[in-house]
Amino acid sequence: MSDTTLTGHTWIAMGPAGTVGWISTTSGGYTFKLVSDTSERAVYPSLEVAKSALHASLIPGSDWPEFREH
């Protein structure tokens, strides 16, 4: 169970094979979830930090995903 409240903005992270995850806004910042996750990750203070954290969670050597606001 997560105590984060989503507030409406989402960015889809796209890799060569399709969607790898997404970033959502919360009342306290930004959180992300990979497609394989069962719950959101930590809350990050900015979108750029959340993007970096999502990329760092991918398989080592993965290209930087394309982020599309949805």
Give the residues of the chain that fall short of pLDDT 50.
Answer: 1
Domain-located, residue 28: yes
The Cα 70–Cα 28 span in angstroms is: 20
Domain-located, residue 62: no
pLDDT at 8: 83
Domain-located, residue 20: yes
Domain-located, residue 1: no
Instruction: Say if CB 55 and CB 66 are below 8 A apart.
Output: no
Domain-located, residue 26: yes
Strands 18-26, 29-34: pairing is antiparallel
- SS3 for 48? helix
39-56 pLDDT, tens digit each: 889 999 999 999 999 999
Domain encompassing residue 31:
11-37
Instruction: Say if CB 24 and CB 69 are below 8 A apart.
Output: no
pLDDT at 19: 97
If you search the block for the tokens 């900015």, which residue do you land on? 46
pLDDT at 1: 47
> Which pTM does this prediction carry?
0.85
